[in-house]
A and B are shown apart, each in its own frame.
Chain A
Amino acid sequence: MKTSYSLQEYLCLSLLALAIVPPLAAVIYIFVRAAGGISVQFLTTMPQQRGISGGILPAIMGTIWLMVGTAMAVLPIGVGAGIYLAEFAPNNRFTRLLEMALINLSGVPSVVFGLFGYALFVVILGFGSSLLSASLTLAALTLPLVVTATRQALNVVPRSFRDASLALGATKWQSVSTVILPCAKGGILTGTLLGLSRAAGETAPILITGVAFYLPSLPRSFLSRFMALPYHLFITATQVPGMPQERVWATAGVLLFLILTMQVGATFWREKERMLKKW
């Protein structure tokens, strides 16, 4: 590719810069502003006076528990569905319908997932406003991400691997479970981690299904209500008069750090896996 550009091409490249610089500058700005508010005490103690003093420990723990719950619910179903679509789905109308459903599901607004979770988990199944209801709601929201990641990871495993194991007399299922799935493990985990990082930042669905702004103790079980970082940020930024601003920036910084760490970790892992592969 030649490296000299025409006028139009320079215009394109400068618009690319215009697209990528503001959000990156925003990320850096958040971390700079957050630095003033973060301390060991802020990260490890309970909040006091509606978050005006004290720390954000229960919000951090709530977000971590929420991710654990979401992962437990979404992994079996999401990976299963990905395996089905990549390996077993016949090439027919019904499969195309499933693919359309998958694309549509990933486009459903998060607040609609919240309404759905409220109707099904909170009310009809009787889980109440709880960590369980919120985890299941976020599992539904992240399902299309995990399915797509699993499917893509399986699709890049070379055909010859399948042929070789089938030629050795393995059944279709044996070939999938002992040969193809282990090869795709890295890609599946990366995709799941990316999905969970998305779940960690969601506010609207958990607002409807169980998050609380202030609780006197950490959640005792999956049926307890809980605090979470995104909701804590939302309330302290919009609804607490006299809130010291550096504390709000610090909460935003902690949330962003948690999510970006997961994302960068996942991406790094994916690249490492890719380099180790000999096919």
Chain B
Amino acid sequence: MPTQQKLVIAAGYTVLILTVAIFVFLAHQSWPFFAEHADLSFVTGDRWLPVSFPPSFQIKGFLVSTLLITGVAVLLGCPLGVISAISLAELLPRQVGLVVRSLFEITAGIPSVVFGFLGLRIVAPYVARVFGLQTGLTGFSAGVVLSVMILPTLVSLAEEALRAVPREYAQASYALGATRWQTIWRVIVPSARGGIAAAILLAIGRAIGETMTVLMVAGGRLTTPGSIFDPMRTLTALIASEVKNAARNSAQYHALFAAGLVLFVITFAVNALAAAVIVGGKGRRSS
């Protein structure tokens, strides 16, 4: 086997090693924290007081915020995304579809800090006015911006799933006298539901992991939010805002890595589920 081929194999293994390494480093850096707090109060408690004496590191508030904002993003974004995918895959003429698809690609390229800036200057003031709030920097505003940000992922993956449905299914449906809409809604969409589910899962994972937008738009209150219209801070925003000021190897530093580990485990679970749907689906089709 030539050396180059060995290098290529090594590069392939790097992907796996990197994934494992991320977990190992997070676990390693948060170990001192879990060694001292070997109970569930880390995720069930509400008090994040890094500079009090004694300090307290509990992340329930951030977990709830992450959940609420992701919920808004998914509720607003998913129907829109899946229906856009249906339009692209089944309804639009080919040339128009090409243009619309490349427009989605462009929006996929807008960085999250730019979305955050737009949320800060445009969405938040608007939300404050419409709902009569003191500040528009709330979980809801962040959720609205996130719902736009997850669309490109959602649309392209859901469209791919719809296009993967064998053409014979649609032809059989037409042969039975079904209209195009009946065929789409009763035959093509149900046949693609595995791939659409995977697309939604990946979009949820993306929403959970989004950082700059929620840091800039969600407001940043540290306690557990009472409603979606409260200012709040997600797990990602917590890490991004505090890790730079935490002294290396301090209790706060290890607690932030612990929060990162929790975040990693959550997104890993969501993505693993999506991956199982995708890879599993591939296996079924080829057999």
B36-44, B45-53, B112-120, B225-233: which lies at the interface:
B112-120
- Please determine whether A76 and B11 come into contact, CB atoms closer than 8 angstroms: yes
Of listed B12, B212, B215, residue having the most chain A CB within 10 A: B12
Contact residue among B19, B84, B110, B276 (Cβ-Cβ distance under 8 Å from A256): B110
Q: How far is the CA of A13 from the CA of B180 in the complex (A)?
A: 14
Q: Is the interface of B mostly helix, strand, loop or mixed?
A: helix
A1 contacts partner chain B, Cβ-Cβ < 8 Å? yes
- Cβ-based interface call for A126 (8 A): no
Give a binary string over A95-138; 1 marks a CB under 8 Å from any B CB, 0 the rest.
01111111111011111111110111001000000000000000
Residues of B within 8 A of A19 (CB): 80-81, 83-84, 151, 155
Chain A hits for B274, CB < 8 A: 103, 107
Q: Is the Cβ of B93 less than 8 Å from the Cβ of A1? A: yes
1/0 contact trace for B195-228 toward A, CB 8 Å? 0000000100110111110011000000000000
Cα distance, A202 to B270, chains bound together (Å): 22
Q: Are A203 and B111 in contact (CB under 8 A)?
A: yes
Residues of A near B92 (CB, < 8 A) are 13, 16
Q: How many A-B residue pairs have CB under 8 A?
A: 265
**Interface size, A (range):** 35 or more
Query: How does the 8 Å CB contact mask read for B99-110 relative to A, with 1 for contact and 0 for none?
Result: 010111111011
Q: Please, which residues of chain B bring their CB within 8 A of the CB of A76? A: 11
Interface size on B, residues (CB 8 A): 91
B180–A2 CB distance below 8 A: yes
Known contacts: A103-B274, A105-B19. The answer to whether A16 contacts B100 by CB under 8 A is yes
Say whether A201 faces chain B, with CB atoms less than 8 Å apart: yes
Complex contact B12–A107 (CB within 8 A): no
* Residues in B whose Cβ lies below 8 Å from that of A118: 243
Please give the distance in Å from B81's CB to the nearest CB on chain A. 7
Contacts of A109 in B (CB 8 A): 208-211, 236, 263-264, 267
CB distance from B153 to the nearest CB of A (A): 10
Give chain A interface residues in 226-279, CB to chain B under 8 Å: 230-231, 233-234, 237-238, 248, 252, 255-256, 259-260, 263-264, 267
